[in-house]
Homo-oligomer: A and B are copies of this chain.
Amino acid sequence: MSKKVVTFGEIMLRLSTPGYQRFVQAERFDVTYGGGEANVAVALCNYGLQGTFVTKVPNNPIGQAAINHLRRYGVDTQYIARGGERLGIYFLETGASMRASQVIYDRAHAAIAEAGPEDFDFDRILDGAVWFHTTGITPALSDKAAALTEQALKTARAKGITTSIDLNYRKKLWSKEKAREVMTRLCQYVDVCIGNEEDAEATLGFKAKGTDVTKGELNLEGYQDVFRQMREKFGFKYIATSLRESYSASDNGWSALVYDGNEFYHTRKYEVRIVDRVGSGDSFASGFIYGLITGMDMRQAAEFGVAASALKHTIPGDMNHATLEEVLQLMKGDASGRVQR
């Protein structure tokens, strides 16, 4: 029986221009579905756990297609509520070289943003789970969504389920002030905190000195300082972040830093040629979580997470379809990319 992991958040319809077309050129969109917590659920299913995703989608074929996409990859969708006005959408244009990828969100009024406590019985949903995961995007969707997130985290904590959050600040959804107020409240129920580079500052107010995210340089000392502060304030068991060095929209350096209150560990760094970098943070989170659930030590879990997410950069769509074997193989050091026959 696979271990059950519950994630809670939004799944969106993703509409992306083919190839490197700009929005104004597109006559068709490639269609897929994604969202931070959904991406984590899928990746965990790929590795053999029972990902369970909780959200609300409209009661129409577009909502059904989102559910179908999750089911296709093995996610347990039985707790997804149906109703509301619409499924959130995001439009994606893939960049190259010095032209950045561009995302246009059209997620206001999504069913999940307007869901309420009547839609989810978290006590039942979390029954038998070993882990609960969400991100800073979900509470940013609406006050109701923030309340639901808090309820889910509280329930998990009460049931002795490990909890994790990916800070993921989205400036178009809420202000830093609002984010800090809510996220500070939520983080008291969190065991494992994952934060992309600029998120720790925006959502929790901790400042990593000297990291200019447009430059692509790492400032490990600054990170360590921030992690220490976060640990001190919230008592997180693990703090982790992926570290991106953005040489260009086509090539990035990719590694991770983790901290357990004791040791800082900086993983191997991968040089990635990017196919699709959307969801790479989620693929790190899911890999790190997988490692911890299956008994890896922090270093191994971090290496698993960063190898998994390096592979994600080469896969179209939001979700990581790298297999367990592929991640383990890459962790062992084979990045030669020789044909597998």
Using an 8 Å CB-CB cutoff, how does the interface string of A20-47 with B read, 1 for contact, 0 for none?
1111111111111000000000000000
Q: Is A12 an interface residue (CB 8 A)?
A: no
Contact B246 A337 (CB under 8 A): yes
Q: Return chain B residues, CB-CB under 8 Å to A74.
A: 68, 71
Contact A275 B20 (CB under 8 A): yes
Q: Return chain B residues, CB-CB under 8 Å to A341.
A: 103, 105, 170-172
Give A160 Cβ to nearest chain B Cβ, in Å.
28
Q: Is A98 an interface residue (CB 8 A)?
A: yes
Q: Return chain B residues, CB-CB under 8 Å to A106.
A: 62, 86, 89
Q: Is A97 an interface residue (CB 8 A)?
A: yes
> In the complex this chain forms, how many copies of it are found?
6
Give A313 Cβ to nearest chain B Cβ, in Å.
7
Residue on B nearest A213 in the bound complex, by CB: B338
From A93, A106, A250, residue with most partner B Cβ within 10 Å: A106
Give A310 Cβ to nearest chain B Cβ, in Å.
6
Find A86's partner among B27, B93, B108 (CB 8 Å cutoff).
B108
Given contacts A109-B108, A213-B338, contact A99 B311 (CB under 8 A): yes
Find A28's partner among B31, B335, B336 (CB 8 Å cutoff).
B31
Q: How many residues of chain A get a CB closer than 8 Å to chain B's CBs?
A: 86
Q: Which 7 A-B pairs have the closest CB atoms?
A: A249-B337, A23-B61, A72-B72, A246-B336, A98-B335, A97-B273, A99-B314
Using an 8 Å CB-CB cutoff, how does the interface string of A310-321 with B read, 1 for contact, 0 for none?
110111110001
A11–B209 CA distance with the chains assembled, in angstroms? 47
Q: Is A339 an interface residue (CB 8 A)?
A: yes
Give A183 Cβ to nearest chain B Cβ, in Å.
18
Give A142 Cβ to nearest chain B Cβ, in Å.
14
